[in-house]
Structures are given as structure tokens and as C-alpha cells.
Structure 1
């Protein structure tokens, strides 16, 4: 057994005893949400360390224990012309991206620099060096005269020399509050805290940012690599590690003054069962506040890597895709995860989020679009870790649990899900191996979700974008009969008849790919002129949805400006954004209007 396998088990299996601050007494009655807070640092430390003794001979990597019964205790002040946002999952719930607009200005981040472009004068009016880590891509949110910048400090999966198995590492991420009221953007506050930023969601001027952090300790190296000796060394190292190693800390700098803080043991809770290698915390930041605070953290001993938000809920899923993929799941000696955990936090109009329910579904999620809340239920699409069978499951909240009330199984046997879209009481799922079945589902009866029709075509859609009533755009790859990709394809689907979805038209760019295939933020759909825009290499590909056709394909290529990343509409101007500048064209004629250089 490898050191990595044993260590994962040692940290993943957490015994859950009742938490008290005094001598052990009879546990209180179980609360309805079956959530327990660690109200004692000594108890937290004891339970974390006890895990090593329970799992020193385990090899299952994803092992976990259930809780014993005793422990079941847009700012309206900014006016401007009609404008698009960047593409998001749920209307009214914004998502961080590399560009934002309020109609009066466009704010971009590239190369660690925030820039502001005035949409009326079509000129860059502000620039600010952010001084943030270069790990990953820095993103932002916008509300009124404030921007909230999110800089992931790393802490992604790392490899150890003794195994190919992966686990989260450590990082230190930053959240910056920027004032845009004047010509020169001004940094108000900088929050720097343990862990990596998983994602964030914004409503109005309030942003919820999800962090994930792991324990900070160094394991000794032993040259002989005898399993029993390695495990004993690791046990000794963990036993000597203080509880502070598991508790994330942070510092906030405002106006030259820095304050520091650390998560209190009493603020840490745990769901009914969990793997304890990482700790999630949800922070709340108000963009219109005078400065950043600690974010009023809500923390839980749990893993999570996928965030989905609605107007009243934040869902965090532990997809564990960093640890396994479909290939390693078949060959690894470590058992693949037995499912995906999903945690729901409620978002009250005022105050901090509250953990309210959790559940588990078999298989793995593709991304946040594989989850959708509708009329009191959560619909979830997953693919099995072992046989690539897919299903759509409907969950309901019952006594603090997300429980399955219905399922449509058997989608694309031997294939993986490549895209999902839920629209009201209907759902659409694309699976692929050699051909692309587009499945249409009726979800109107949560207890009896069912497949109503399917369309088999070559290639696949990596994202499904609604473009009007009973119309979907599929963006992905065309493929030959053996499933080999041939180039970017954009398909227009008619889903009027749930029993017989059909493709009306298709546009193919041979040999090409688009960032939109992996990141839906890169897609612009502007219904006012039926305009679809997506980046393709160094250009923006524009198409019109005209009746049953995709027409007027045009490539907008800013000269020597690097790849186009995003597109926005402000008034009658289409803005194509690159890392070096913005190209302004007329939305109707696509004639060039201006070029804004941001070098």
C-alpha cells in the first residue's frame, strides 16, 4: 500500500463523536438538519487525529463513516444603454469572469492588470496593477462603482513521488475590493486567505465566495519505503501537528493597516458523513461596503469543487474529479468515489448563508450545468465512474437531506455526458462516444422523470444554449463515424416535439476549436438581433439565428491582438475582447467602429 493511499484514508475517514466543551455527558437530541458543530478545539483535534488509528490499514482512499446517532446534533444607480452580461447559468445570479460591463464601462482583467474602458468615448480610462499571484486566471464581479477581484492562489491537485494518486494541495488566495468611481481605479481592501477559490456567485451587490483549504503539515521522507514504517512516521507527524494546521487563517489590508484572523473551531460544522481532507468555507462580501471584512465565514469539514447558485441557494458538489477520471478509475487499485456529495446552503436576504441539507448521487457531474433547481427539487445529471452509464436524478429536501425521489436511467450506455441543459420542466442531455445522442427528458413529474426522445448525429455538443422558445444551440465538435473530432460545429436544434428533437442547421469550422466548448462564459447570445458570437482562434465567429437557419457567418479578427476571449453588446456596439484590446463593431452591419488598445 502506498503512502498516498494510506494518508488519504487516514484523513478521509473522520470519526464523529459528540462535541462538548466540558466532561463527556449524554448527547443532546439530534437536530433536524443532522449537522454538528465542533464547539471545542480539543474535540476537533481529537477527532482528526483519531482518524489515523481507524484507517491505518485501510486502502480504499474514499472511505468514510456515518455520524453515530449521538452526534446527529445589479446596482440600479448606474444607468446606461441596453447591454449584455457574460453568459451565466441562472438569470439574475452573476458569475465571476475576466470581463464585466454595466453599460457605461467595460472592466477587464488580463495579465494581473485591471483596465476600464468607457463605452461612450471608446477609450481606456483607467488602469490598475493588481499585484496578485499568477496562478490560474484572475476574475471579477461588478456592482455600481465597485469591482470584486478574485485571484486563486493555487492549491490544486499535486502528485507525490510514491503514487499517481492526487490530492488537493495548499494555496493562499486573494479577494480585492476596487473603487471605480474616479478615472483611476483604487484598491480599497485586500483579503488574503488560506485555500483556493472554488467559485463565487453574486446577487445585487452581495457576493458569496467559496474557498477550499487543506491541513498544513509536512510528512517526513523515509528512504526505505517500508509500508509499516512509512505509516508509523505519518501517524507520528500528524499526532504532533496542532489543530491550527486544519484551521484556515487570513489577513486583510485596508489603507496600510493589516488585521489577521483565523477560523474559530466553533464555526466549523460537519454534515452527516464526510471525507475530511479539505474544509469548505463560504464567505460573504458586500461590494458596496466601505472595506472588506473577514467574510463572516460559514465552514464545513467537506470536499467540494463545483458550485451552482440560484436566487436563494448555493450548492457545492464534491465531484472529486481532481482525484480520478474515467481512465484512472478503471486501472487504479484505489476504489473510485462511490458518488458525488452535494451540499446546499440557503441564502437569506440578510445575514450569512446557512448549511441546510446534503445528499449523494451516484456517479460524477460534468459541471455546474448538470445541476438545476426547479419548483422545490434539484435535478442532477451524472455519469457512472465505472461503466459510463448516465442518468438524471431528481432530489427533494427531507429533514436536512437531499433524497432521490425519481430517476431516468440508462442514458448513453458506455458513453459520457458532454453537455446538460435544464429548462423549466424539461431537460436535455448529450452523451458521446462515437455518435451524439441528444436526449430530451420530461421532468414535469419529479417522481417519474422520463426520456421522451433522442437524436443521434455524429459529433457532440459540449454546451447547450437556449436561443428562443423551443430552440437550442449546440456548440462542440463535429466527428466522423469513428468518433474522431473534425472541427468546431455549431448546431441549431428544434425541440418543439419532445419525442422527436431534430437538427435544423449546422455550421462547421474544420480543424477549429473554441474556448466556448469548455467555458460557457465565452458565448454571447444577443436576442435583440438574433446574434450568436463565440471565440474561434484569433477571431470572433458571429452567426445569426434566422428562422430555421444559421446564417451570415462572419469572422471578426482584430489585427495582431491575440485570441478573442469574450464578446459583449452595449447599445448598438458589439465588443470583441482580447488580452491586448477591444474591437468595437456595429451589431447590425458588423462594420468596424473603433479599436481600443490596452497594451
Structure 2
């Protein structure tokens, strides 16, 4: 018997065991009564509404209590409820009437055609009526499912690009233009400090470490840390989170459902710091709700910190927004964020077998039909014990005329100085990808498809685009449109001007990769009445298709790494959106993952390639200097064998130092043959007119204690960080510093020799 045959027989046997086990569990389990699930959900609504200090909250409490009484009465009248579809979920007559009017099956996603229009509603009642119908029409027997895809659309796996663009929280913006001189290419003069590598000059992006003046502000564990480079010392740490450790041996019994709060990224302007985090709060167990729909409430946390005295940072304000953070930007002292939230509190169920699909579908439809405005619209507060407020008024919600998914994407604007006083609006649509510049945001939304339906024919798949504007009165909706295919990542979108956006699409669905995917550049512009985005130009770049790597909008040009294994760099002229011009392409011999603009119409393309030594194939970093004054032409190449870099999936890890024409980033070195793995290093590349001259720096060990042994348990007495790896190359007060996993290291700006070391032990 071959290995494959053995595995096949083992799979069959395991399937049989699982089926028998599942049948036994179902026979022994108590039936879940949909009515009691509904009662439990309504009680949660009463608890949530009681925290809202508004007249609307009082109305919500009264309605929820009335519904509880009505459902409880139905439960008493019916007694035990079977799994017959007509007897799942006790509900109000209006909800039953709506559900009974629906066809037996949810809306077929194959037949959904995106249209470029949205609707507004003056009252919460009219908005909720619309949400009841559109939600009940589309919900399935498994609810609305989950959002986000782990597969990079049309991407080359070796590039790793699809993962970064989808999960890093970074978003492409209005394209930064080519610079006429090094000093104007987005850097700092002598003595100044470089900020985070961003895509739009003047539009800051969150990161885990920021340099401001002579200070380095970073996150370590659940703490904010402030380090002064002039005194070469850590000035302070500030606890910002709460991290449970249920696996540790302690005298106390660990909480099985602990509250979890953790900072994840930050923005800095002057002496103000804004820390973004995530908080999960367990819901109280309710005897009338035997379901396990979602035991936690998830929040975005916003912590405002004052660094006027960096030795004693002070928390000025802390707020929580219901949902998850999609992206954030800072323009001056104003912060714009995009969040999403879903119907997590509704009593959704899933079928336990084929004979309960209809019952589960009816229960979920009734759950949606009984929902209230508070179920759809996110709240915000200043903490668990504070009163909550609605983030968005019903009149500030837009609903696309084509349902794309039951996520509420909210655009929020507020001042960095605090306190948190949000201006917000929402759209009923998922936010898979988005682009943002100093004023505008464009959100890309795919039609939601139940995983059970994903094997069908979606050859005419399209993506909706919604454009918004930030201003003095808060965010406002501008226009919507759609494009054929999928928008792979945030770098595939750009705001070109106040009427036009650019987008790169691939002709495939988000959840399935293809060997050969057509790549198309499209431009969309507002109609005369400014209500719709319509396509005005499209082009398939020469050499494109099959795979896609890095994408970059730069001024009136687009660069895309595509072709076989993303080894062709193509350029497109976008100066006339209605008449796109192909500027040619050049083979790169490797995957282009990240593209960075340089002065004099040049770019750096950072990616990966493979080097063959007989039968030995080694991965390598490849950096290309490309001239764009005509058709793309490679001026210089640098290759580092047996190495990789994170720049392809985290552009914040790249630094351009214009004063010295130096590109810098961290390197992970790989073992070759039986040799030990070399320690991580940093590359500092001097970029000439047609040359790349490298300097490789190995960071010093901070001597944080004896290293932990790989075959022994990790304890507090040993250093588990391994060799220090370079996370960022910072320029502070005109001096280069390596920010590693265990230190800040000062380098000589000419020789790059080590001058000083500040140990940064991990927070305990």
C-alpha cells in the first residue's frame, strides 16, 4: 500500500468515527429552543441599552422588555419547540410576516449585480425597516459568515504581498509624486528626525514605533515605552493594557473568560500620542441563552497620552468603539479612522445536520427581522463602567442598493489632542480594502458569498467602490461605482484627483487563486451630478497577467509587478484618465514586492529571487534601481543570497534617507547546507545615478542575560529573544539608529560603525 492509499483509508476511517461521534453527541444533547435563544439576546439588548444615557435608550429598553414578554408568552403557549422550520423562534407578528413573505432560499449571490447607488433614511424606523428586509433576504442557515480572506488575490505566494496588504492595516493613498531633488523626496534635513515611511507625504500612518524629536516611542507587550536618544536611556513605561495568562501556574484559579486588552499601534504628533488597541470583554452568561454565538464583545481602544514630561507620560482620555479597526491616518492634529462592526449580538444558529437547515434559516431570518438600530450601529464609551453613546446617527448611514455584506463600516474623525469627540458616518458594506489621502477615502466591498456557495460560477464577479470625504463637518458620502473583478489589496487603489480614482483589478474571486489572472488598470470618475463613479478608462499593461506582486501609484503613473511569477515591471501613464497609455515593461528576473519612488523619475523595486548553485536553490533579496524617464529600464541591481526581508509585507520597515541617498531595511539571513543560521543584519544601500553600494551592519547583542536553550522551558531567568533582528532603521536628530528586537543602537552616519547601545528589555 502506498502512502497516499494509506492516508486515504485513514481519512475514510476518521470520517466514520467523527460521524458516529457527532450522532452520539446530538442524541445526548438537549435541544436548543430558538425562543430561549431569542430571549437571551433580548436580555443582552436591555443590558446594553441601559448604559446609554439617552431617550432612545429608554425606548430601546421598553421595546426589548416588551419583546421578551411577548416571546416568553409564546414559549409558554407552545411548550417544547421542535426542529420544524415553522416552530423555531418565537417572534412578533411583524417579524413572522416578513419572514413568511420571503422565498425558501436566501438571495443567490450568483445573481447579485452591483449598482452604483445608495439610499439614505431620515428616521431610525425607516432605516431599520430597510435593514430588516435586506438582512433577512440574504442571511443563510449559518448566519452571515466571516469576513476577510487569507489567500492573496492573484498574488505570488513567494512575494508574501497579499498577506501584508490585507492585514497590516496600511492603505494606499493619493500617489506621492516623483521629486526633483533628494531633499524634497520626503525626508529630513540635517538634525531632523525622519517619520514613518508612508505612501502619501504629510499623511501619517500608525506603526508600533515612532520617532519624534530625540525621542523613540514604542510598544512593548502591553506598555508604552519612551526612550531618549540624547541621554541614551529609557525614560519611562506606561501600562496601557490587560493581558491574561490563564496558562501560567498561579495560586488563583484562572478566569476561563478573561478580559483582554492590548495596544497594537500608535500615532505621534509633538507631545501627543494616540495608541490604538483591541479589547475583548466576555459577556455575562445568561440562563435563557444556551447558544455560544460569540462570548466576547470586541472594541477598538483609543488611548490619548500626553508626553509633555516624557519621564512621566499621562493618559488624557481613553475611549472604546464597538468593532475592529480597519485603518487609521493622521493629517496634522486630526485623526481619521475606519472601523467595522457586525451583528454579533443577534441569536444566530447553525444547522447540526441536513434536516435542520430550514429550521436554522428561519431562526436566523427571525433574528434579523427582530433586530433594532442598536444591533446594527456601533456604540462608543470611555470604559466598561461608563455610559455608552451611539457612534453614528441613523441619518448618517447610507445603504447600498445592492447588498454586499452585513458589516457596518464607519468613518470617524476626531482631534488628536482629545478628548474623544467623534464625527462619524457609516455604510452597510464590508471594508476589505480601502485607499485614503488627506481628504478622501475609497472603500472596496465584495459581495458576501456563503462558503457553501463558493464553488459556483462567478465569472462576472465585480467589486463595489464607495468614496467619502473628510472635512470640517466630519466625513460625508460622495459617490459609488463598481469594477469587474476583484481589488486585491489597498495598494491597488488610489485617489488621483478630486474627481477620479485609479484601481488595479484581477479577474478572479477573492477566495480562490488562479494560475493565470488578467490584470487591468481602470480609472473611474464622478458623473455630472457627482453621485456615481463610472469607468472612463482601462488598460491591460504590457507583460502583465498570470501573477501580481507590488503595485504603486506615483503621481500620474502606475507601476505594477506582474507577468509570470510577478517578474515583469510595467508602467502606465495616467495623466489622461480617459486615455491610458502603456509606457512599456521590463523583465526583472525576480518578484517585485515593494516599489519606492526616488528623485529624477526613478524607483527602487525591492523583492525576491532565486539563485541556483548546481542542485542547491537559494532564495535571495533583489533590489533594482529602475529609470522611468522612458520605458522602464534597470540601471542597477543588488542581490543578497540566502536572505529575505519583511519590506514586501510591511512597508514601514523601509527607510529612505534623502540627505544621503540611502535606502535601509532589516534582513533575515538563512542557513546554507549544514552551516548555522547567520544572525539578522541591516542593509544600508547608497543609491547612485546608476549604482547600488551596500553596507551590511550586524546589530550588537544587548546582553539581556543568558539565552534560553531551545530544548528547555522558557523562564524569566533567560533571554528568549534570540539574535537581535532589525525592525526599523531610524534617523533621529540627523543620526542613524537601529531599532532591534532588544535595543536601540546608534550608528556613525558615515562609517555606520556602532557608537552606543540602549538595551530595550521586553516588558514583563
TM-score (norm 1): 0.81
Change (3 A) 1:451 1:136: farther
Q: Distance in 2 between matches of 1:582 and 1:447?
A: 50
1:490 to 605, 616, 623: 623
* Correspondence 1:449 to 2:611: no
Q: CA deviation at 1:213?
A: 0.5
Q: CA deviation at 1:345?
A: 1.6
Verify the 8 A CA contact 1:154 1:171 in the aligned structure 2. Answer: yes
1:99 to 209, 224, 230: 209
Q: Distance in 2 between matches of 1:117 and 1:323?
A: 48
Return 397-406 or 146-155, whichever deviates more: 146-155
The SS at the match of 1:83 is coil
Change (3 A) 1:331 1:402: closer
Q: CA deviation at 1:384?
A: 1.6
Q: Distance in 2 between matches of 1:330 and 1:453?
A: 40
2:124 to 41, 56, 69: 41
Q: Distance in 1 between matches of 2:449 and 2:136?
A: 23
Verify the 8 A CA contact 1:340 1:365 in the aligned structure 2. Answer: yes
Q: CA deviation at 1:235?
A: 2.0
Q: Distance in 2 between matches of 1:58 and 1:429?
A: 41
Q: Distance in 2 between matches of 1:15 and 1:373?
A: 25
Specify the alignment match of 2:444 in structure 1. Answer: 317
The SS at the match of 2:131 is helix
* Correspondence 1:574 to 2:730: no
* Structure-to-structure mapping, 1:471-482, within 5 angstroms: 471-479=602-610
Specify the alignment match of 2:25 in structure 1. Answer: none
Greater per-residue strand proportion: 1
Change (3 A) 1:171 1:549: same
How many residue pairs get matched?
A: 537
Q: CA deviation at 1:153?
A: 4.8
Higher relative contact order (CA 8 A, sep 6+): 2
The SS at the match of 1:236 is helix
Q: Distance in 2 between matches of 1:372 and 1:184?
A: 41
Q: Distance in 2 between matches of 1:34 and 1:332?
A: 29
* Correspondence 1:205 to 2:288: no
Q: Deviations over 1:544-566 (max 9, x none)?
A: 11221110331332325632212
Q: Deviations over 1:517-576 (max 9, x none)?
A: 101111001111111111112332211112211103313323256322122112331122
Q: Distance in 1 between matches of 2:440 and 2:566?
A: 36
* Correspondence 1:300 to 2:442: no
Change (3 A) 1:269 1:475: same
Specify the alignment match of 1:543 in structure 2. Answer: 685
Q: Deviations over 1:11-56 (max 9, x none)?
A: 999999xxxxxxxxxxxxxxxx965333333323322222355447
* Structure-to-structure mapping, 1:125-524, within 5 angstroms: 125-131=235-241, 138-153=264-279, 171-182=298-309, 183-216=311-344, 217-226=346-355, 227-253=357-383, 258-263=386-391, 264-289=393-418, 291-293=419-421, 295-318=422-445, 332-333=455-456, 335=458, 338-348=461-471, 350-376=472-498, 377-385=500-508, 388-398=517-527, 399-409=530-540, 412=543, 414-434=545-565, 436-479=567-610, 486-497=619-630, 499=631, 501-524=632-655
Which of these two proteins has the greater Rg computed from alpha carbons?
A: 2
Q: CA deviation at 1:332?
A: 2.7
Q: Distance in 1 between matches of 2:105 and 2:271?
A: 47
Q: Distance in 2 between matches of 1:539 and 1:592?
A: 13
Specify the alignment match of 2:696 in structure 1. Answer: 554
Q: Distance in 1 between matches of 2:692 and 2:547?
A: 28
TM-score (norm 2): 0.64
Q: Distance in 2 between matches of 1:535 and 1:154?
A: 33
Q: CA RMSD in A?
A: 3.6
Q: Distance in 1 between matches of 2:386 and 2:457?
A: 45
Change (3 A) 1:52 1:94: closer
Provide structure 2 residue ranges, at least 5 long, that are not aligned to the other structure: 1-103, 146-188, 244-259, 282-293, 510-515, 669-679, 702-721
Verify the 8 A CA contact 1:535 1:564 in the aligned structure 2. Answer: yes
Verify the 8 A CA contact 2:135 2:406 in the aligned structure 1. Answer: no
Verify the 8 A CA contact 1:105 1:118 in the aligned structure 2. Answer: yes
Q: CA deviation at 1:315?
A: 2.3
Change (3 A) 1:8 1:452: farther
The SS at the match of 1:529 is coil
Q: Distance in 1 between matches of 2:543 and 2:659?
A: 36
